[in-house]
A and B are shown apart, each in its own frame.
Chain A
């Protein structure tokens, strides 16, 4: 944005800056591995945890490292239904990430559109949108989601809907703040003098320059959405048993934990923690890299 003539692409420059922290690079790698594992879960998992023909109920609650009568190795043990924990975790990760990322993306889309409208149109539109945002942000995420699901009932679509509803306001506020700064700049004035439509200025000119805070916030929000979904599923208000996310796997192991069968709760939890942790570290680093106040 400054007048410095630089041939370097801003993404490349951001990466040069990002990789100065080895810790953050490791987190990014971990994050990528987790995403790949989730995407390719059906090919990576040694067992299909939904296929009842391969699950032997007599193999339930086996400790890690046990072998089935068929010689199949349960590296991380089995759960209460005799499912291979490692496979169930990969499939659970897939569901957790799907719910987190999808709700995050829709929330970004809604929040960004409303935030841009509030900033660019101003007046009563701005006042109305920001009033709703303030109202939403006045209550903690978990409470709003809990109440929504209490009313709506269980289901993947309902959880995603609840997560979108609790997240969009953060994006709207962040984008509005960034857009208010951008619209004062000369290039917007130039675009207006050219007679471009409001929509084109909002989405074609202002929006690309508001992306930095959205990327940072979006990363953090996906982590928070995954964590919130797990919490809701643990409480029995999130995903149904037919869609066992990581939170639900932990919840299933809860009753077994007191009798010493720790692995049913511990391993999915470790995976959940690694997922949320690595995303947060990446987000934290992105904030340092993309924060214009610090880098300029």
Chain B
């Protein structure tokens, strides 16, 4: 087990290092911020001063080593636009994004798991057909358009829920969150639904196919033959096995939720880091783009690591397979 974790840690380190090169080359070498940041009517002397103060005149390799050593100290440069350290800016916005993603994940699991279970137990039933049809719609409906329709329906036409911002935040267990106030929850509802619909469809399909595969296995038949109650068979015997792949997928999909939050946050003006990155891309605010990428990569590597370890704990075949290598 230790060997497995160490090997995964080394792999993660490799991915992070590769990504720093990609991030640096992508953000620092290809784009040209000089044209964007310095007004056209600036004199040549003003231009030079700005280029020097931003360190853009040095050779690429020097810029990269500076970037890397700064990165290790948690310094990703100062935002050209906000004029505060970009990592602070991102970490300030991170909780709002995490809150949104976690709520979306919660909705997807709480609704998706039972629905998938019911469909899987009765394949071909009316409920199954309706839910499976709906899940294809859920897969197909473009996320951003679905968000617009939610706003149109619930904010413009019915006037039930607000469509922009995070609302009033309060303290809940020492964490600042929208879930603490009714105003906050009403602001959170639409973005969370918007972000969750795709994952909800995925959750339903995954659970359904998992249940269908396991339902006819010998050990389930044996449990039935023993005369166990249907409730116990479903909740204990079937769910225990179905949950293993689902936990992995939930972990992976959490990363994708954070990525898709960029779209949701843009539509609902949710003050998270996804909206920040879109704004920064528009203004070519490179330190923020670089900082966002590094934070995202770290987040993804962390999520993948946790998922892999959890999976190897849940399914011994994974780590045993690793040991025989």
A interface residues, Cβ below 8 angstroms from B: 23, 135, 138-140, 142-143, 146-152, 223, 227, 230-231, 234-237, 247, 250, 254, 257-258, 260, 262, 265-266, 269, 272-273, 276-277, 279-281, 284
Contacts and interface: CB of A to CB of B under 8 A. Distances in A.
A280 B133 CA distance: 11
B281 A150 contact: yes
Interface of B is mostly: helix
Contact of B26 (A151, A236, A277): A151
From B136, B145, B263, name the one whose CB has the most chain A CB atoms within 10 angstroms. B145
B263 A142 contact: yes
B256 A269 contact: no
B151 interface: yes
- How many chain B residues sit at the interface, stated as a range, is 35 or more
Contacts of B278: 235-237
Given A140-B255, A235-B278, A281 B136 contact: yes
A142 B262 CA distance: 9
Contacts of B293: 147
A280 B136 contact: yes
Given A139-B300, A151-B30, 16 more contacts: A139-B259, A142-B262, A143-B259, A143-B262, A146-B259, A151-B26, A223-B140, A231-B263, A235-B262, A237-B278, A258-B151, A266-B149, A273-B137, A276-B141, A276-B142, A284-B136
A119 B117 CA distance: 37
Contacts of B137: 273, 277
Interface string B129-156: 0000100110111111100110110001
From B27, B30, B139, B278, name the one whose CB has the most chain A CB atoms within 10 angstroms. B139
A151 B156 contact: no
Contacts of A146: 259, 262, 277, 281
B282 interface: yes
A35 B281 CA distance: 34
Contact of B144 (A23, A250, A284): A250
B156 A257 contact: yes
A191 B68 CA distance: 52
Interface string B242-270: 00000000000001100110110010000
B77 to A, nearest CB: 16
Contacts of B262: 142-143, 146, 235
B67 to A, nearest CB: 16
27 contacts: A140-B255, A140-B256, A140-B259, A142-B260, A142-B262, A142-B263, A151-B30, A234-B145, A234-B263, A235-B278, A237-B278, A250-B145, A250-B148, A257-B151, A257-B152, A257-B156, A258-B156, A260-B156, A266-B152, A269-B145, A273-B137, A273-B140, A273-B141, A273-B142, A273-B145, A279-B140, A280-B139
Nearest to B297: A139
A12 B289 CA distance: 52
Given A223-B140, A257-B148, A277-B140, A150 B156 contact: no
A61 B139 CA distance: 31
A234 B15 CA distance: 31
A150 B145 contact: no
B260 to A, nearest CB: 6
Contacts of A148: 26
A247 B259 CA distance: 19
Nearest to B132: A284
Nearest to A258: B156
A93 B169 CA distance: 42
Nearest to B292: A147
A277 B259 contact: no
B31 interface: yes
Contacts of A269: 142, 145, 148-149
A148 B256 CA distance: 17
B18 interface: yes
A151 B296 CA distance: 17
Contacts of B259: 139-140, 142-143, 146
Contacts of B144: 230-231, 234-235, 247, 250
B266 A135 contact: no
B33 to A, nearest CB: 12
Nearest to A150: B281
From B26, B144, B281, B304, name the one whose CB has the most chain A CB atoms within 10 angstroms. B144
